[in-house]
């Protein structure tokens, strides 16, 4: 064993000082977790509005903007839960429409998630609680999608906090935790429909945990004994029956203990039943608040939209008028049942090949964005099962929950998306914290015993974890955040160089008032018309037709996302053209500041545009596909005039 060296002595001094502080300060863990949470918030808020909006971000942000502008809202499962639409509309009203504003709610919720580690503190060591908060704060996958306006981080955070509050209710029996859990579950269901999957996952993990408790109560030790000395069927039966009896006896003992600690079991059960009913009512009220229609409801978001003032039964009308409350409930329940029914329908075209493809995307995102977390989760689970750490049911429970999600989510989704890996990373944080804290304690033990080699091995392990996490965060979250080579980027992401054009368009639209700010052009027709990729509707008769109020209605709206969000947030006036002659006349007479064309469109009058004073830059609307490339033509004189102002 190496003796204490000049390197170990300062480390030992630091260890003594920190150890004394944590022993003397009852709030040391709280302070550390709070500091880590502030770090997580800072990491999420830094440069939050820099990345160009993804297809999904633009789609949902548009409808949040539309709600704020029109006053009408109706739940549609295709947009996912209504939580983000409501909250974003409030944020837009306060700070204006921008990419920073639309992502702010997700960033705040994701940044506060490390505080959830405190909910499990009765079942974790202090080092494990701090480690869990740290993993939730700096995990690159969670960091990337906390800076992304989708509801996956929202539902993961709300449902995980709800689970932690249920654990606290179990620990303390205080009804306030039951109410809080109910409210957070409602927020989870209001965030995204797969909150239901969390409940199913909890039930499945409970079943696996129960099987483990009955069949292998000592974890891997029982499994090793089973493999080395296989018992007979009678011995297996006796073990299972005996284990079940032991659990039943333990349950009876808990009931007897409960009875001795309370005057009347009936009164206690009645009181908790009352709290349970109130908690369910709270869940219902929060859900009603988010899911209920506003303004004109569905007619208010269709085209042409019905004014919000013509709505008859919305949330505020039903809440403030008891005579309408029943109608409000009926309208909301019918809408939710209809939309959830569509969401629950299995994908008709799901094949084994698509599952393999989605599974590959999931594993790639988990591997590149959360490899350290997943590896540490496996270490923590193994240590718990082998008995190297105090066995706790929470460790295998959350490991099971995260592990089965790896196989379940690719089966249930219709697209392969890296953001789904969030639903494995969050539950993995607790067993991973057990593993990380165990390595940390081994290092402290080595330091206490002057074991330089042990300290060195621990330092190398921590260095590798820090290196991987830092490298992934820098190269996947803050740089290369829109490139196809980034495993966390889903293909419907425009390239980052478009940002300069978007800033220019926003600036121009604020001052230009003589005709459209932007003209979108697509000229190919007939057999040459690419209806699957074109930006402009083929028939001019359809230019003012749309099922939903997706403005501008002359474009093929979904092909052009996220540009409709930028048109809306910039208050840009947009027109369309589908003939080269008509476009030529427009650029000669009216000279719109910006013209958008598509590279694969052979009818684009490029020479006439250049001759009329337009400069062009080409960008990708998606990470791949030559038909996703488009060109932005900006009139040079107008830009110069604007710059001079």
Q: Would you say 509 and 517 are in contact if contact means Cβ atoms under 8 Å apart?
A: yes
Domain boundary among the residues 452, 470, 488 is at 470
Same domain assignment for residues 453 and 501:
no
Q: Is residue 510 part of a domain?
A: yes
Nearest partner of 476 among 572, 367, 574, judged by Cα = 367
C-alpha angle 208-211-217 in degrees, rounded to nearest 5: 115
Q: Is residue 248 part of a domain?
A: no
CA distance 279 to 183: 8
Question: For the residues of 548-593, what is the DSSP string, one character each?
Answer: B--SSTTB-HHHHTTHHHHHHHHT--EEEE--HHHHHHHHHHT--S
Q: Is residue 537 part of a domain?
A: yes
Bigger pLDDT: 310 vs 240: 310
Domain boundary among the residues 427, 452, 470 is at 470
What's the domain range around 521?
A: 496-644
CA distance 180 to 199: 17
CA distance 17 to 521: 69
Strand, coil or helix: what is 597?
strand
Buried b or exposed e, range 108-133, using 16+ CB within 10 angstroms = bbbbbbbbbbbbbbebbbebbbbbbb
Long-range CB contacts (< 8 A, 24+ apart) of 233-241? 239/215, 240/214, 240/215
Same domain assignment for residues 298 and 444:
yes
Same domain assignment for residues 466 and 503:
no
pLDDT in tens, 391-449: 888 999 999 999 989 988 887 677 889 999 999 999 999 999 999 999 999 988 888 88
Q: Is the pLDDT of residue 331 over 70?
A: yes
Q: In this structure, what CATH number is given to the domain that contains residue 556?
A: 3.40.190
Q: Is residue 150 part of a domain?
A: yes
| % of the chain residues with pLDDT over 70 | 86
Confidence of residue 348 (pLDDT cuts 50, 70, 90): very low
Lowest-pLDDT range, 27-41, 80-94, 332-346? Answer: 332-346
Same domain assignment for residues 39 and 157:
yes
Q: Would you say 435 and 376 are in contact if contact means Cβ atoms under 8 Å apart?
A: yes
Same domain assignment for residues 586 and 442:
no
Q: How many domains in the chain?
A: 2
Nearest partner of 295 among 281, 307, 278, judged by Cα = 307
CA distance 421 to 366: 6
Same domain assignment for residues 507 and 456:
no
The pLDDT assigned to 645 comes to 40
Q: Is residue 71 part of a domain?
A: yes
Q: Is residue 255 part of a domain?
A: no
CA distance 331 to 571: 33
Same domain assignment for residues 67 and 149:
yes
Q: Is residue 328 part of a domain?
A: no
Q: Please compute the mean of the pLDDT values over residues 86-107 and round it to a whole number.
A: 97
Same domain assignment for residues 289 and 375:
yes
pLDDT in tens, 530-585: 668 899 998 899 999 999 999 999 999 999 999 999 999 999 999 999 999 999 99
CB-count exposure of residue 226 (10 Å: 0-12, 13-18, 19+): middle
**CA-based diameter of the chain, in Å?**
93
**Tokens 């990491």 — which residue?**
43
The size of the chain, in residues, is: 645
Q: Would you say 114 and 29 are in contact if contact means Cβ atoms under 8 Å apart?
A: no
| % of the chain residues with pLDDT over 90 | 67
Domain boundary among the residues 470, 488, 522 is at 470
Q: Is residue 232 part of a domain?
A: no
pLDDT in tens, 125-180: 999 999 999 999 999 999 999 999 999 999 999 999 999 999 999 999 899 999 99
Q: Is the pLDDT of residue 644 over 50?
A: no
CA distance 572 to 434: 52
Same domain assignment for residues 433 and 535:
no
Same domain assignment for residues 430 and 500:
no
Q: What is the DSSP secondary structure assignment for residue 116, as one 8-state letter?
A: G
Same domain assignment for residues 85 and 37:
yes
Q: Radius of gyration over alpha carbons of the chain, in Å?
A: 29
Same domain assignment for residues 524 and 451:
no
Q: Please compute the mean of the pLDDT values over residues 284-290 and round it to a whole number.
A: 97
Q: What is the pTM for the complete model shown? A: 0.91
């Amino acid at each position: 064993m190496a003796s204490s060296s000049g390197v170990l002595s300062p480390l030992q001094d630091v260890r003594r000082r920190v150890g004394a502080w944590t022993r003397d300060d009852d709030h040391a863990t709280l302070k550390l977790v709070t500091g880590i949470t502030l770090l997580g918030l800072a990491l999420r808020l830094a440069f939050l509005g820099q990345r160009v909006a993804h297809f999904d971000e633009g789609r949902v942000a548009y409808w949040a903007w539309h709600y704020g502008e029109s006053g009408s809202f109706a739940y549609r499962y295709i947009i996912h839960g209504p939580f983000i639409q409501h909250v974003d509309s409030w944020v837009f009203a306060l700070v204006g429409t921008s990419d920073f504003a639309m992502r702010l709610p997700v960033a705040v919720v994701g940044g506060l998630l490390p505080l959830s580690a405190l909910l499990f503190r009765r079942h974790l060591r202090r080092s494990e609680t701090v480690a869990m908060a740290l993993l939730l704060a700096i995990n690159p996958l969670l960091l990337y999608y906390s800076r992304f306006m989708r509801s996956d981080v929202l539902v993961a955070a709300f449902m995980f906090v709800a689970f932690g509050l249920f654990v606290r209710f179990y620990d303390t029996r205080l009804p306030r935790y039951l109410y809080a859990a109910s409210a957070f579950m409602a927020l989870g269901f209001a965030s995204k429909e797969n909150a239901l999957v969390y409940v199913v996952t909890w039930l499945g993990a409970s079943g696996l945990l129960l099987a483990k408790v009955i069949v292998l109560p000592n974890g891997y030790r029982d499994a090793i004994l089973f493999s080395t000395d296989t018992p007979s069927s009678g011995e297996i039966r006796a073990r299972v029956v005996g284990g079940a009896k032991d659990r039943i006896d333990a349950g009876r003992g808990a009931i007897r203990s409960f009875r001795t600690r309370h005057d009347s079991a009936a009164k206690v059960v009645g009181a908790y039943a009352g709290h349970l009913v109130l908690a369910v009512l709270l869940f219902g009220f929060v859900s009603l608040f988010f899911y209920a229609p506003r303004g004109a409801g569905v007619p208010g978001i269709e085209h042409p939209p019905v004014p919000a003032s013509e709505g008859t039964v919305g949330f505020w009308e039903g809440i403030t008028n008891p005579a309408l409350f029943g109608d409000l409930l009926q309208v909301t329940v019918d809408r939710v049942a209809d939309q959830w029914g569509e969401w629950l329908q299995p994908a008709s075209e799901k094949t084994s090949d698509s599952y393999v493809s989605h599974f590959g995307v999931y594993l790639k995102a988990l591997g590149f964005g959360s490899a350290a977390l997943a590896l540490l989760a496996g270490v923590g689970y193994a240590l718990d099962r082998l008995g190297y750490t105090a066995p706790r049911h929470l460790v295998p429970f959350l490991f099971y929950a995260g592990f089965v999600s790896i196989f379940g989510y690719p089966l249930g989704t219709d697209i392969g998306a890296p953001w789904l890996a969030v639903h494995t990373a969050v539950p993995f944080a607790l067993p991973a914290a057990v593993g990380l804290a165990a390595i940390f304690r081994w290092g402290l033990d080595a330091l206490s015993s002057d074991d330089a080699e042990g300290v060195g091995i621990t330092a190398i392990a921590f260095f590798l974890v820090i290196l991987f996490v830092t490298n992934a965060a820098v190269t996947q979250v803050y740089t290369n955040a829109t490139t196809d080579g980034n495993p966390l980027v889903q293909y419907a992401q425009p390239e980052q160089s478009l940002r300069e054009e978007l800033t220019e368009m926003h600036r121009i639209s604020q001052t230009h008032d003589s005709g459209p700010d932007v003209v979108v052009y697509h000229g190919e027709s007939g057999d040459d018309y690419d209806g699957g990729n074109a930006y402009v509707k083929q028939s001019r008769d359809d230019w003012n037709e749309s099922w939903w109020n997706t403005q501008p209605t002359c474009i093929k709206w979904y092909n052009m996302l996220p540009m409709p969000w930028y048109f809306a947030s910039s208050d840009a006036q947009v027109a369309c053209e589908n003939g080269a002659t008509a476009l030529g006349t427009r650029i000669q007479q009216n000279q719109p500041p910006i013209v958008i064309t598509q590279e694969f469109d052979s009818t684009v009058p490029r020479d006439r545009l250049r001759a009329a004073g337009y400069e062009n830059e080409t960008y990708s609307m998606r990470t791949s596909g030559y038909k996703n490339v488009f060109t932005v033509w900006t009139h040079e004189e107008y830009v110069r005039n604007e710059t001079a102002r």
